[in-house]
A and B are shown apart, each in its own frame.
Chain A
Amino acid sequence: MRKRSLDMVHTLARRDERVVFIGSDLSPNLLGDMKKEFPQRYYMEGISEANVVGMAAGMALEGFIPYVNTIATFLTRRCYEQVAVDLCVHDLPVRLIGNGGGYVYAPLGPTHQAIEDIAIMRALPHMTVTAACDAEEMTRLMEASLDWPHPLYIRLGKGGDPIVSRPERGFAIGKAIDMIDEEVAGSDVLLVATGVATTQALEAAKALAGDGVRCRLIHLHTIKPLDGDALVAAAGQTRLVVTVEEHSVVGGLGSAVLEALSDGMAGSLPPVRRLGIPDRFAEHYGNQAALMKDCNLHAEGIADAVRAALSGKRT
C-alpha cells in the first residue's frame, strides 16, 4: 500500500506539474525514478517535520500540491500545530501520507504506533481523513486526491495486505462502500470498518454468515467527511452496529459513527459496540497481527464480539 501510494505520486507528477513530493529522511532511493525525472519537484528533507509541513504550506499557497511522506506518528503528533495552522487554517491542498497506521510498527513500540492519528486529524476543521483497505483502493484514493481541494491525511497500512476492494464498487472521497454482495436490506449486524480492519471484518462476516447471522459490512475509507447518510440508513435496518478499527477507541471511527448516528437518526439508536485498541499504549512487541489479536481485532475476535453482543452480553 505504501509503495503504491508513493508510485502514484510519481504518476500524478507526470500528469500534473503542480505535484511535488516532500519526504522527511526516508529510505535511500525512495521514489528514485521521480527524483531523476522531476528533480525540481522532489525534496528529501531532514528530520524536521514542523519545517516540512510549513514548507509544504508555503508551496501550496503558491499553487503547488505537495505530497508529504513520513512515519505517521511524526507527521501527526510532532507537527500537529503546523498541520492545524499552516494547512488547516489556510485550507490548503497538502497531502500527508502517514506510514504505519495502527500497529504496523509493532516491533518498534509506542513511539512509532499511530493509534490516535485518526482522532487528532479528524478534530481539525478542513482536514480530510482516509484509511484505504488495500493497495488497489489506494490507487483509487490517490487518483481522487489530485483535485481534492482540502488538506488530506492518508493513513497507510503495512503493505502486502490482501486485496479485498473491488473497482466495480466505485470510489469517491467521503462515500461509504458496501463490501458484501448479498441483499443488504435488513441485517442482524451492521459492521462498519476502516483501513485494513475492513479485511478482518470481512472475514468475521463470512464466519458469522456460516452461523446464520445476516451481516452487512460498510467500509469507510474516508472517516472525515463521514458518509452519515449511508450510515444512518443502514443503521435503521439492523439489530446491532459494530465498528472495527485498528485505532484507539477514543475519538476514532467508532466515535465518529456514534456521533453521526446520534445526530442523524430520527428514532432510537440500535446498540453500538466499538471494537478498537483500548485506551493504552502497546504493552507488547511482536508483529501487527499479534497486537491486533491481543486487542481482539482479528476476524475471530470480531465474530465473537458480534455473537456476544447479539446475545445481549457486554464485552
Chain B
Amino acid sequence: MKIVAQRNYDTDLDSVQQEPLDARSRHLRRLILRAIENGGRGHIGPSLSLVEIVRVLYDEFVRHDPANPRWPGRDRFILSKGHGCLALYAVLADRGFFPVEALDRFCRFDSFLGGHPETMVPGVEACTGSLGHGLSIGLGMALAARMSGRDSKVYVVMGDGEINEGSVWEAAACADKHGLANLTAVIDYNKIQSAGSVFEIQSMEPLADKWRSFGFRVFECNGHSVDGLRRVFQATAAAPPDRPRIVICHTVKGKGIPVAENNPAWHHRTALSASDLSAIHGALGD
C-alpha cells in the first residue's frame, strides 16, 4: 500500500524524510520540548510533523493580531487534530499571543495550556481533541464570513488518521455544496496513526482522488519544506474562487527527533527518560 501511495503523488517522499530543518524550525521545536519537559508528557510525534505547516501559515498566510486575538477581520485557523497542540502553542507563543513562559506550565492544574487546545488560549479558535469536528466548525465559520460579507479565510488542519471519521466526509460534501473557496483544509499526512501505519490500520488512499471527487481543489507538497509550503499556499490563494481547497502535506511523524521519527511509540509519551531527553536535545543541537 505504501508503494501505491508513493505512486499517487508527485512529491518525492524520500525528500520529505531528508528535508533539513532551519534555525526557526529548530527554535520552534525547542519550545515544544520546553513544554514537554515541564509537563512530562505530550503528543510528541503528531506535533513535530505539524511544525512547518503551522509556522508557514502563521508567518505568511493567516491574518492575525496577537494584541487583539478576536479581531473580526482575522483569518481563522482550526487545529482539528487537537492532539498536535504543542506545535500550535509553540507558534502562538512565538508570535506573541501569550508569553513563552506559559509553555513551562503545560498540562499543570492551573495552566491554560492543556493536552488539547481550548478557546481560553489566546489565538485558539475552537476547542478540539475529539477528531472529525474541525472541518464542520470551519465550514460554519466560512459560511458566517460569507453571510457577514467578510473576506476572512478559514484554515482547518486535520490528521491522516482523523480522516477515518465519517463526519469529515459529511463536512467535505457540505463544503463542496456551498462552494466554500474561503475554506482551505490541510492534511498532515505523516502516514502513521496511533496504532501503527495508516496503510495497515485504515488507508484512505487514493487520498487525493477522494478529495477531488468530493469537489475540492487538491494540492500537495513536502510538509517540512518552508519554500514548498509557501508555494502551495500561494497557489491555493491564487486558484479560482469557486471551490474549497485541500493541501495534502507529506510529513514525517516525529520530524526532527530521529528516535521519534516514524515511531508510533512516540505518538503520545507520558514518561520521558533522561536518555529520551538527551536524544531530543542532541537532535536539536543543544
Residues on A facing B (Cβ under 8 Å): 20, 40-41, 43, 45-46, 48, 50-64, 81-82, 85-86, 89-90
Residues of B within 8 A of A81 (CB): 130, 133
Give complex CA distance A46, B136 in Å: 13
In the complex, what residue of chain B is closest to A40 when comparing beta carbons? B147
Give complex CA distance A59, B177 in Å: 17
- Contact check, B145 vs A57: say whether CB atoms are below 8 A apart: no
Residues of A within 8 A of B127 (CB): 85, 89-90
Main secondary structure on A side of the interface with B: helix
CB proximity of A268 to chain B, nearest CB, Å: 40
Knowing A85-B127, A89-B127 touch, does A58 contact B139 (C-beta < 8 A)?
yes
The residues in B between 117 and 146 inclusive whose CB is less than 8 angstroms from any CB of A are 118-119, 125-127, 129-130, 132-133, 135-146
CB within 8 A of A55: which of B126, B132, B140?
Answer: B140
- Contact check, A58 vs B143: say whether CB atoms are below 8 A apart: yes
Q: A51-B174, A54-B171 are in contact. List 4 more A-B contacts (CB 8 A).
A: A46-B174, A54-B137, A55-B174, A82-B133
Give complex CA distance A90, B174 in Å: 22
- B163 CB within 8 Å of chain A: no
- Contact check, B145 vs A62: say whether CB atoms are below 8 A apart: yes
- Contact check, B173 vs A85: say whether CB atoms are below 8 A apart: no
CB within 8 A of A58: which of B129, B144, B148, B167?
Answer: B144
In the complex, what residue of chain A is closest to B141 when comparing beta carbons? A58
Give complex CA distance A40, B178 in Å: 11
Q: List 28 A-B contacts (CB under 8 A).
A: A43-B143, A45-B174, A45-B177, A46-B174, A50-B132, A51-B136, A51-B167, A51-B170, A51-B171, A51-B174, A53-B136, A54-B136, A54-B137, A54-B140, A55-B136, A56-B140, A58-B136, A58-B141, A58-B144, A59-B140, A59-B141, A62-B141, A62-B148, A63-B144, A81-B133, A89-B118, A89-B127, A90-B127
CB proximity of A150 to chain B, nearest CB, Å: 16
CB proximity of B111 to chain A, nearest CB, Å: 17
Most chain B CB atoms below 10 A, which of A41, A43, A54? A54
Residues of A within 8 A of B119 (CB): 90
In the complex, what residue of chain A is closest to B171 when comparing beta carbons? A51
The residues in B between 97 and 130 inclusive whose CB is less than 8 angstroms from any CB of A are 118-119, 125-127, 129-130
Give complex CA distance A41, B129 in Å: 29
- Contact check, A59 vs B170: say whether CB atoms are below 8 A apart: no
Give complex CA distance A62, B173 in Å: 22
Give complex CA distance A51, B119 in Å: 20
- Contact check, B133 vs A46: say whether CB atoms are below 8 A apart: no
The 10 closest A-B pairs by CB, nearest first: A58-B140, A54-B136, A62-B144, A51-B170, A48-B170, A55-B140, A50-B167, A58-B137, A58-B141, A59-B140
Give complex CA distance A63, B132 in Å: 23
Residues of A within 8 A of B170 (CB): 46, 48, 50-51
- Contact check, A61 vs B125: say whether CB atoms are below 8 A apart: yes
Residues of B within 8 A of A46 (CB): 170, 173-174, 177
